[in-house]
Amino acid sequence: MTRALPVLTVLAAIILIWYLAAIGMNAQWAEDQAARAGTELTTGQLIADTLSQDRPVLPAPHQVAAGLWDGVFGQAITSKRSLVYHAMVTLSATMAGFAIGSLAGILLAVGIVHDRTMDQSVMPWAVASQTVPILAIAPMVIVVLASIGVTGLLPKAVISAWLSFFPVLVGMVAGLRQPDAMQLDLMRSWNASRSQSFWRLRLPSSMPYLFASLKVAVAAALVGTIVGELPAGATSGLGARLLSGSYYGQTVQIWSALFMAAALAAGLVVLIGLIERITLKRMGLAR
Amino acid sequence: MSALPILAVWLGAWGLNAVLARLNTRLTRILVPLIFGATLLVLWEMIVRAYAVPSVILPAPSQIWASFAGNIPLLWGDFVQTILKGALSGWVMGALAAIVTAIAIDRSPFLQRGLLPIGNFVAALPIIGIAPILVMWFGFDWQSKAAVVVVMVFFPILVNMVAGLAATDALQRDLMATWSAGYWQSLFKMRLPAAMPFLFNGLKITTTLALIGAIVAEFFGSPTRGMGFRISTAVGQLDLPLVWAEILVAAIAGSLFYGIVSLIESRVTFWHPSQRR
Amino acid sequence: MSSGADPVITARGVDLTFPTADGPVHALKGVDLTINRGDFVSFIGPSGCGKTTFLRTIAALETPTGGSLTVNGMPADEARKARAYGYVFQAPGLYPWRTISGNISLPLEIMGFSKADRAERIARVLDLVDLAGFGGKFPWQLSGGMQQRASIARALAFDADILLMDEPFGALDEIVRDRLNEALLELWRKTQKTIGFVTHSIPEAVYLSTRIVVMSPRPGRITKVIESTLPAERPLEIRDTPEFIALSHEVREGLREGHSYD
């Protein structure tokens, strides 16, 4: 409880500020409407109106909550209006890309740790690539793949894979290099083979690093998928919801999609954290 | 038949690198990645030409370079609009806001315990999704891009700065107590300098985020210039060499931005073990 | 030194208990001690005997839960605010982003000394600890012994008349330690400061002190106070004299008595 109280207080403060901001930002439109109708609004009416507009500048928290509720539970999940449907579209591409990207990152990291040529050739580029806004190529990938007839889940998965590949590669190389000279010398003194050293020393000591980078990678993969859903033509997925919401000024729709995406990201990170805890506990690494 | 020379170049370069990597001197450590990068470019060019890949799918490096060289004024205008106006100003404002917030909540453990978990949580969210909202609020020009960047960089820097302000050890705090130093004296003379390596870690992570935020926010609406605008319109016109030229600009800008922050870091935190030479 | 007529630190029945998960721990129980001006007092005892805790209590880094403790005739915390102490820890605790001069200057800046005054004091204390010419170096460019000398210089710079040292040479090797012990005695003779000195080493305590306070754990308390019979002038060779060996023996016996149950 002592840990939850400060967080709940700050959350309550955020919601309060949000309501005040909603009243302030939506008041203009409410007053304009009243002036057009030739009526005067009392303060109470004004506030009530700002919190219940159809297309508010800033929807109030309860409107977003209602939008989320309606999107998640109020629709058949096969409906185009269902947030669950759009979230599943985004999630499947994210997971496919994340799986491909992490696997490739882990394999290349193993190669880099065991081969000096690969290490010196590839590693500087992998590190430098972290400073480049790779996400900018997302629309191009979508359009190019569409032009050769590849559409649907795969183009988005390619972007996700590309984005999750580099954090996993860099983190896994650091993890596999974690054992110090003494531990490696000990292995050598037992005349352990390369694969024995790998399976019994390098791989186990890399696990904390692997999971830390997997968390970063899954968040990056989700962002990649969402941005991959932005180019014109995409009709499903949370990114497409964001874009169509911004075209038609459906602010409640934007905010609902945004919160759905946030919940998805949080769920994925928590899930990996859970797998991490179980794995590390089995290995005796968790405290 | 055209596969043979491609294979030959690859094997030749890799063999050369294998020999050089074994030498492991300072020179070869620079040479090996450069040779690798150059080999990839040559192979790319060879593959595109040998198999006549249409430029709407994958332009050759030479075509990209020609587009880059032929569109310098256009690219420069986009660079100013997106990187300097959008990303840089947003990054500076977000960083200042995060630093000030970290110092403001420094005296309240209650606020820290409340804000930190939320900050860590928000740092993992797809914040880029707020771009359409901020574009609606602040208009199509660079102000909305800067606003997206502010929100994206704020939390990672805040979390790092708060950790940095807590990074002094007990001995240093005891010393300050024996001199009966006041709060502000310990803050300026001990805790702010000690926080610098953490702060710069946050600043470096967020350089890439700032560029991503500024470019992607333009996909939701922009004036008729800017890197994100150019990428999405050039993709629509199937002018792929121009798209790649913009990506080249983004890569150079990202590396420069990161490099400059690293350079300032090495000047400011010259004393930190990771920076000593 | 002289008749002991001028008490600087007076502890009467000082208690200090820390609450822990396994119930309260008596770090100090009923500690009575008077330290006079110009004394060099060593605190020696096994781990957990409260010697460091007592030194920290004198410096008001810990607050006693019982008894009274006055420094220069006022409560310890007021003495801290009046900047009565220079404190030297086991680790040098130098700030890596400041040069040696900058580190010595730091407490002076906090206490509001003028720039000219600071420069003059820095030069003086650097000379005192034999580090003249190293002021422009950064701490991490110096050896461990030099760093510890710099931290002593920092504690001396603002002329507090009480110097509290918590195993300052504990992390250094024997040869460096001998040299620094000699230098510390020299310094003490020159400046006539009152020194409280925590150590693990019997020879170090005997060599340096005018009085040796033997402490024992569970609860932390003083078991014996030994007055040194050694002359004020102490070359390193004094450690081979029968007098020195007899004193060492007495300290060892004192430690053994306090520990008779285990």
Confidence at residue B66, expressed as pLDDT on a 0 to 100 scale: 93
Q: What's the longest Cα–Cα distance across chain A?
A: 92
Chain B touched by C140 (CB under 8 Å): yes
Q: Which chains touch A (3 or more CB pairs under 8 A)?
A: B
| Listed residue (B34, B63, B58, B33) closest to B47, CA to CA | B58
* CATH number, domain with residue A96: 1.10.3720.10
CA distance B102 to chain C (A): 22
Beta carbons of C214 and C254 less than 8 angstroms apart: yes
Q: What is the 3-state secondary structure (H, E, C) of A13-80?
A: HHHHHHHHHHHHHHHHHHHHHHHHHCCCCCHHHHHHHHCCCCCCCCCCHHHHHHHHHHHHHCCCCCCC
Confidence at residue C262, expressed as pLDDT on a 0 to 100 scale: 47
C138·B269 Cβ contact <8 A: no
B271·C107 Cβ contact <8 A: no
Percent of chain B with pLDDT over 90: 29
CA distance B229 to chain A (A): 11
Q: What confidence tier does C2 reach under pLDDT thresholds 50, 70, 90? A: very low
Confidence at residue C4, expressed as pLDDT on a 0 to 100 scale: 47
Chain A touched by B36 (CB under 8 Å): yes
Confidence at residue C1, expressed as pLDDT on a 0 to 100 scale: 42
Q: Is the peptide bond before C219 cis (omega within 30 degrees of 0)?
A: yes
B129·A238 Cβ contact <8 A: yes
Confidence at residue A130, expressed as pLDDT on a 0 to 100 scale: 77
- Range of lowest pLDDT (A74-78, B42-46, B178-182, C111-115): A74-78
C91·B171 Cβ contact <8 A: yes
Interface size A-B, in CB pairs within 8 Å, comes to 160
> Is the model's pLDDT at C260 over the cut of 70?
no
CA distance C253 to chain B (A): 33
Q: Which chains touch B (3 or more CB pairs under 8 A)?
A: A, C
Confidence at residue C259, expressed as pLDDT on a 0 to 100 scale: 63
| Residue in B179, B196, B271 nearest the CB of C111 | B179
Chain A residues touching B87 at Cβ < 8 A: none
Beta carbons of B13 and B36 less than 8 angstroms apart: yes
Name the closest residue on chain B to residue A57, using Cα atoms. B137
Residue A113 lies in a domain: yes
Residue A75 lies in a domain: no
Name the closest residue on chain A to residue B232, using Cα atoms. A139
Confidence at residue C3, expressed as pLDDT on a 0 to 100 scale: 46
- Examine chains B and C and say if they touch (3+ CB pairs below 8 A): yes
Q: Which residues contact A17 (CB under 8 A, 6 or more apart)?
A: none
Q: Residue A149: which region, alpha, beta or left (left: phi > 0; alpha: psi -120 to 50)? A: left
Segment A157-186, tens digit of pLDDT: 988 998 899 889 988 998 888 887 777 877
Q: Are residues A42 and A91 in the same domain?
A: no
For B202, other C-beta atoms within 10 Å of its C-beta total: 23
B178·C59 Cβ contact <8 A: yes
> Is the model's pLDDT at C233 over the cut of 90?
no
B220·A137 Cβ contact <8 A: no
Beta carbons of C180 and C188 less than 8 angstroms apart: no
In CATH, which of 3.50.50.60, 3.90.550.10, 3.40.50.300, 1.10.8.80 is domain C1-84+162-169+198-262? 3.40.50.300
C86·B271 Cβ contact <8 A: no
Backbone angles phi, psi at C223, to 5 degrees: -105, -25
> Is the model's pLDDT at C92 over the cut of 90?
no
Confidence at residue C5, expressed as pLDDT on a 0 to 100 scale: 61
Q: Which residues contact C245 (CB under 8 A, 6 or more apart)?
A: none
Domain ranges of chain C: 1-84+162-169+198-262
Burial class (CB in 10 A: 0-12, 13-18, 19+), A99: middle
- Examine chains A and C and say if they touch (3+ CB pairs below 8 A): no
Q: What's the longest Cα–Cα distance across chain B?
A: 81
B171·C95 Cβ contact <8 A: no
Distance CA B271, CA B276 (A): 6
> Is the model's pLDDT at A7 over the cut of 90?
no
What are the tokens at C139?
A: 């701490």
Confidence at residue A153, expressed as pLDDT on a 0 to 100 scale: 85
Chain B residues touching C110 at Cβ < 8 A: 176, 179, 181, 185, 189
Residue pointed to by tokens 């038949």: B1
Chain A touched by B189 (CB under 8 Å): no
B178·C96 Cβ contact <8 A: no
Which domain does A17 fall in, by range?
4-58
State the complex-level ipTM: 0.80
| Residue in A9, A215, A230 nearest the CB of B219 | A230
Q: Are residues A113 and A202 in the same domain?
A: yes
Distance CA A266, CA A219 (A): 9
Name the closest residue on chain B to residue A59, using Cα atoms. B133
> What is the CATH code for B67-268?
1.10.3720.10
- Helices A83-114 and A238-248 meet at what angle, rounded to 10? 130
B126·A257 Cβ contact <8 A: no
B33·A132 Cβ contact <8 A: no
> Is the model's pLDDT at C244 over the cut of 70?
yes
B171·C93 Cβ contact <8 A: yes
- Cα C262 to the center of its chain, rounded Å: 28
Segment B77-135, tens digit of pLDDT: 999 999 999 899 999 999 999 999 999 888 888 888 888 888 877 877 788 888 888 88
| Residue in B172, B174, B271 nearest the CB of C140 | B271
Compute, in degrees rounded to 10, the torsion defined by CA atoms B94, B98, B101, B106.
Answer: -170
- Beta-sheet strands, E only, within chain C: 7-20, 23-36, 40-44, 66-71, 74-75, 85-88, 162-166, 194-199, 211-216, 221-227
Distance CA A258, CA B130 (A): 7
Calculate mean pLDDT across residues C27-41: 89
What are the tokens at A266?
A: 């949080």
Confidence at residue A287, expressed as pLDDT on a 0 to 100 scale: 53
- Examine chains B and A and say if they touch (3+ CB pairs below 8 A): yes
Average pLDDT, chain C: 86
> Is the model's pLDDT at A77 over the cut of 80?
no
Interface of B with A in 51-110 (CB under 8 A): 56-58, 110
